[in-house]
Every structure is written in structure tokens, then in C-alpha cells.
Amino acid sequence: MTANKDQNKEAGAVGKVAVLMGGHSAEREVSLMSGSGVLKALQSKGVNAHAFDPAERDLCELKRKGFKRCFIALHGRFGEDGTVQGALELLGIPYTGSGVMASSISIDKVTTKRVWMAEGLATPRYVLLRRGAYTREQVLAVPDDLGLPLIVKPAREGSSIGVAKVTGYSEMAAAVEQAAALDADVLCEQFISGDEVTCPVLGTGDGARALPVIRIVAPEGNYDYQNKYFTDDTKYLVPCGLPEGEEQAIQELVLKAYRVLGCRGWGRVDVMIDGATRKPYLLEINTSPGMTGHSLVPMSAGAAGINYEDLCLQLLASATLDQERPVSPK
């Protein structure tokens, strides 16, 4: 009873909290689900938390209405890409998750891959096509470079939106056109056949720690938007059941990937393990992961003994700014 009172007292001391949800991105629907869960969890812990949709309200209201912290439950562009983070930096309101630069790098799958490759971290080979600048011949040449099957995706979308698995030359044009409708940069990526896993990270710098790895088994290997959020057909295995030593190796790889990008607070890294060589390949990082009933960070945290409400409170407690506010001259 005393512990609960202390916890509620600490939650109340945080001040007025905005849970940013919804927003303008293609992932708005998922963000509203994430934000609703976070809002309910924080309120259950005694936090003075309120929903705030940047698509419907001006961010300047945060300052005018006296909000002291923001829990970012936005996904995708205009929420996970450094734009909202930059606005909150200017407003001087601490927020959850990575800062401006780490967010803007991490949302871009191509830039993320370039950083990882520069640091010697394995990621699938790729070809970048820019909307309006590629020819039919260049599109059809991609399978010659990467092999078949291959993956085509928008460079700056999440939740598997616009992602296509191409199994033949005849499918390339449609897949690229679909991705180009969502983003000016189209990422064509080598397909790694094997186990699909994901690993969340909590914390910052040397204090960051990897949570249990989750192995994802989707119907026919198709972990798309529908199978992520709206069906119960996908299986999530925690413990992951990987061969001895592999989980720890993936956790170590994920921590390196997280740290070299300068991420903080929390994140989730997706990995493919080559079925033949058992070599792990980094796919992408999410700096504002989902918090829905189907989401993987709460699932992994639960396996580590952290329930949803405590996870939300822990993340809120980590809210910060990139830099201390400068002292105004007298």
C-alpha cells in the first residue's frame, strides 16, 4: 500500500502531461490506438495526462495550457521524424524517445542503413530509386543486382505500409509505383530468408538495455499491416526459441545499432536471421514504437516482468530535451 502511495505521489509530481497521438502520417490510425492505451495507463497511475492530437490542435497550445511533459505516441512522419521533437525543443517541453537528430536519421531507412554500414553492422544490400528519376530499365535491373525475391518499400514509412515482396520481374514496376506514391525515395532491399525477430531497447547510452527478443511467425511469412494490427493469426514467440547464444548475440547487435544512431529513451530494432548461415541482418529501427494491444514492446517488457502501466510510467520518467535550455541574459 505504501509503495502504491509513493508511486502515485511521484506520478502526480510529474505535472500536466500531453499524450501526443493521431497526427498527420499514414500511421494515424495505429497512433490513436497506441495513444489511447498509453493515456489510460498513465491515468491509472495517477498521472494528470491528457490526449493531444497535433492534427487537430496547434502545438503552441502545449505551452499555453501548461503541459510539463509529452509522451510521444505518434508514429511515422510528423511525429517520429524529428519534426515534433524540434518543436518541443523550442517550446522547452521534455518528451519521450529519441531527440531531433536521432529521430530524423532513424525514420529514413536508407540513411539508417548507411550509418550502420559505416559502423560495420550488417544490413541487407539495397538499391535506392528516386521518384521521377528512374527509368523502366533501371527498375527492371534491380533484381539482377539484388536477386529474387526482394523487398520494395517507401524509405520513410512504418507499420509495413507500402511494402511489397517481389518474386518476379513482372511485379517490379507495380511495387515501385506503390512505394513511390508514398515517398520520394524507394528502397529496394535484398530479401533475407529465415527467422524474423525484433528486440526492444530501454534507456540511453551505456545505461541502455535490450529486452527479450521476440520471434515473429506470420501467416505465409507475410507480416503486413493487417497481420500486425488487425488479426490474431500472427504468432509472437517469447521466449523466442532461438538456438543457444543467438538471442544474446542479437541483443548485443541491437544495442550497438541503437547507440550508433544516438537513440535514447526507448526503441525497437527489427532483424532478419539468414536461415542458412544464421547471420543476423539489421532491417530498421523504430524510435516511437507501437503501444497497441498487438504491439511488441509491451509484449517483450511483459516477458521481462514490466507490465504495461509500469512501462508507460518508466518511459514518461525518461522524458528529456536534447539540451538544457540556455539561461536568458539579464
CATH superfamily name and code, 105-122+193-315: ATP-grasp fold, B domain (3.30.470.20)
Q: Which residues contact 188 (CB under 8 A, 6 or more apart)?
A: 126, 127, 128, 129, 142, 146, 150, 151, 152, 176
Q: What is the pLDDT of residues 53-93, one digit of tens each?
A: 999 999 999 999 999 999 999 999 899 999 999 999 999 99
Which CATH fold would you assign to the domain 2-96? Rossmann fold (3.40.50)
Look up 233 and say whether it is catalytic: no
Per DSSP, 92 falls in state T
pLDDT at 314 over 70: yes
Structural domain boundaries in the chain: 2-96, 105-122+193-315, 126-190
| Active-site choice (89, 185, 195, 284) | 284
Check residue 158 and give its pLDDT. Answer: 73
Look up 196 and say whether it is catalytic: no
Look up 222 and say whether it is catalytic: no
Look up 268 and say whether it is catalytic: yes
Q: Which residues contact 199 (CB under 8 A, 6 or more apart)?
A: 210, 211, 212, 213, 214, 250, 251, 254, 268, 269, 271, 300
258 or 160, which is more confident: 258
Which CATH architecture group holds 126-190? 2-Layer Sandwich (3.30)
Q: What is the pLDDT of residues 128-187, one digit of tens each?
A: 999 999 999 999 999 999 999 999 999 998 767 889 999 999 999 999 999 999 999 999
| Active-site choice (46, 270, 300, 309) | 270
Check residue 2 and give its pLDDT. Answer: 46
Name which of 30-39, 103-112, 235-244, 251-260 the model is least confident about: 235-244
Cβ atoms of 22 and 35 within 8 Å: the answer is yes
Look up 48 and say whether it is catalytic: no
Share of the chain above pLDDT 90, in %: 84
| Active-site choice (22, 23, 25, 27) | 27
On the 0-12 / 13-18 / 19+ scale of CB atoms within 10 A, 109 is: buried
Phi, psi at 216, each rounded to 5°? -105, 125
CA distance 109 to 114: 9
Look up 286 and say whether it is catalytic: yes
Phi, psi at 300, each rounded to 5°? -65, -40
**Once rounded to an integer, what is the mean pLDDT over residues 104-121?**
98
- Across the strands, what pairs with 49? 17
Type of residue at 82: G
| Active-site choice (79, 203, 290, 300) | 290
